[in-house]
Amino acid sequence: MTKPNMNYASLKDSYLFFRIAQKVKKYSAEHPDEKILRLGIGDVSLPLCESVIKSLNDAVSEQAEKSTFHGYMPECGAPFLRTTIAEYYRKRGVRVDDDEVFVSSGASDELGDILDLFDKENSALIIEPAYPAYVDANVIAGRKIILLSSSMNNGFTPDPDENHAADIIYICSPNNPTGAVFTKEKLKKWVDFANAHQSVILFDAAYEAFIESENVPHSIFEIDGAKTCAIEICSLSKTAGFTGTRLGYTVIPKTLERNGMRFNDMWIRNRTTKTNGVSYIIQKGGAAVFTDEGQKEIKENIAYYKENAKILMKVLDEFDIEYTGGKNAPYIWLKCPNGLNSWEFFDLLLKEIQVVGTPGEGFGSSGEGYFRFSTFGSREDANAAAF
């Protein structure tokens, strides 16, 4: 008899967005005239920018001609895009070689696949509250998970500690769901800790484009020592609205090795076995993001979301509600007022002002008592919610 991967039986139901949808559906059926204001979505609402659309269209036309047609793409990414992304790092003063960049179909795919590089016996440290995929991917792999709780007291950016040592360490900055960011000093402590313990940090930089503060690194490779202990996973989903178009990239330094094995070599071997590359058309579209024009256009879209954040933060300030995020991240993470738990606060907002957000409990038990607003929705909804 085939034995299934029984670790799936250990996964908790991912009921968060299902439960939200059920509650909203019920409320709307009972109150058909009320407009629901959506501040819960993690998806972008603005379309792809002009440069990307032009580049995608040009690439489609190339695929229509025998002389310009492209078949399979190199498994680790088209050279033009690997160079473009490495240049993006180098322009910011971070030394990354072209062959340290791997093009992916997005951060989610990569966060799951990258675990192939690690032994099943490795433990994984996850700072909670956390993006749920970190826990689930390790449950599926049958790994021991060590949870490190964070709270408003440490700004949701805890320091490493010896009681929470692990082989794989997840750090997400800017963070989903808390919107918190690790400063250079904070991140340096984690890099030193990882090097001292011979751990590997999986640095999720999906929201780096939202950083505006000086002392907040966009990449973990801005930190001395990171090239011997970190892998960075990034995505164009939120940077450039690629949630439905799908493109990301991963940086694996050639200097990262454990037990005589180089992770960069292992990942080349993995990719050449498990993928046939990302579509030429999408990679061409992605390359346009890194042009001067593309950068200008995506920044305009990000500024739109940031304006939504300002509108919401102003109201929270007026009500003296404690929160993190909003500045360097598209999420605002607030403490539920009056000691309400996160689902009680959800119900209250829906009933009283028809605002839908995301209960913090969905991001792990240390998210209980907190609530997440996303700023990816429309200006109309942000204004109406603030009013």
Is the CB of 308 or the CB of 354 nearer to ligand PLP? Answer: 308
Task: Verify binding: residue 237, ligand PLP, rule CB under 6 A.
Answer: yes
Restricting to residues 122-151, which ones interact with ligand PLP according to CB under 6 A?
131
Residues in the interface with ligand PLP (CB under 6 A) total 13
Draw the binding track, 51-80, toward ligand PLP (x: CB under 6 A; -: no contact).
------------------------------
Helix residue spans in 118-258 (DSSP H): 132-140, 184-197, 237-240
Amino acid symbol at 317: D
Task: Verify binding: residue 42, ligand PLP, rule CB under 6 A.
Answer: yes
Amino acid symbol at 136: D
Q: What b/e sequence results for 48-63 when a residue is b if at least 16 CB atoms lie within 10 Å of its CB, and e otherwise?
A: bbebbeebbeebeeee
Q: How far apart are CA 301 and CA 21, in angstroms?
A: 27
Task: Verify binding: residue 86, ligand PLP, rule CB under 6 A.
Answer: no
Q: What letter would DSSP give residue 118?
A: S
- Which of 105-113, 143-151, 218-226, 282-290 is the region at the interface with ligand PLP (rule: CB under 6 A)? 105-113
Give the long-range contacts of residues 14-19, CB within 8 A, separation 24 or more: 14/132, 14/136, 16/132, 16/358, 16/359, 16/362, 17/362
Quickly count: other Cβ atoms within 10 Å of residue 353's Cβ. 13
Q: How far apart are CA 161 and CA 183, in angstroms?
A: 17
Q: How far apart are CA 272 and CA 72, in angstroms?
A: 12
In whole angstroms, how close is the CB of 176 to ligand PLP at the nearest point? 4
Task: Verify binding: residue 204, ligand PLP, rule CB under 6 A.
Answer: yes
Q: What's the token pair of residue 161?
A: 């500690």
Q: How far apart are CA 41 and CA 38, in angstroms?
A: 7
Is the CB of 131 or the CB of 373 nearer to ligand PLP? Answer: 131
Q: How far apart are CA 324 and CA 332, in angstroms?
A: 6
Residue with the two structure tokens 């109201």:
315
Q: How far apart are CA 64 and CA 70, in angstroms?
A: 10
- Which of 16-24, 86-94, 106-114, 220-228 is the region at the interface with ligand PLP (rule: CB under 6 A)? 106-114
Residue 275 CB partners (closer than 8 Å, separation 6+): 75
Is the CB of 83 or the CB of 176 nearer to ligand PLP? Answer: 176
Tell the burial category of 147 from Cβ atoms under 10 Å away from its Cβ (0-12, 13-18, 19+): middle
Q: What's the token pair of residue 34?
A: 């009320």
In whole angstroms, how close is the CB of 62 to ligand PLP at the nearest point? 25
Is the CB of 235 or the CB of 366 nearer to ligand PLP? Answer: 235
Is the CB of 176 or the CB of 301 nearer to ligand PLP? Answer: 176
Is the CB of 217 or the CB of 248 nearer to ligand PLP? Answer: 248
Is the CB of 118 or the CB of 203 nearer to ligand PLP? Answer: 203
According to CB under 6 A, which one of 44, 52, 56, 172 is a site residue for ligand PLP? 172
According to CB under 6 A, which one of 206, 223, 230, 329 is a site residue for ligand PLP? 206
Task: Verify binding: residue 285, ligand PLP, rule CB under 6 A.
Answer: no
Q: How far apart are CA 118 and CA 100, in angstroms?
A: 18
In whole angstroms, how close is the CB of 218 to ligand PLP at the nearest point? 15
Is the CB of 84 or the CB of 108 nearer to ligand PLP? Answer: 108
3-state secondary structure of 344: helix
- Which of 100-108, 136-144, 210-218, 310-318 is the region at the interface with ligand PLP (rule: CB under 6 A)? 100-108
According to CB under 6 A, which one of 108, 122, 283, 358 is a site residue for ligand PLP? 108
Q: How far apart are CA 151 and CA 162, in angstroms?
A: 19
Task: Verify binding: residue 264, ligand PLP, rule CB under 6 A.
Answer: no
Task: Verify binding: residue 235, ligand PLP, rule CB under 6 A.
Answer: yes
- Which of 3-11, 104-112, 218-226, 320-328 is the region at the interface with ligand PLP (rule: CB under 6 A)? 104-112
Is the CB of 75 or the CB of 208 nearer to ligand PLP? Answer: 208
Q: What is the dihedral of CA 256, 259, 264, 269, to 10 degrees?
A: -170
In whole angstroms, how close is the CB of 132 to ligand PLP at the nearest point? 9
Is the CB of 287 or the CB of 386 nearer to ligand PLP? Answer: 287
Binding stretches for ligand PLP (CB under 6 A): 42, 106-108, 131, 172, 176, 204, 206, 235, 237, 243, 248
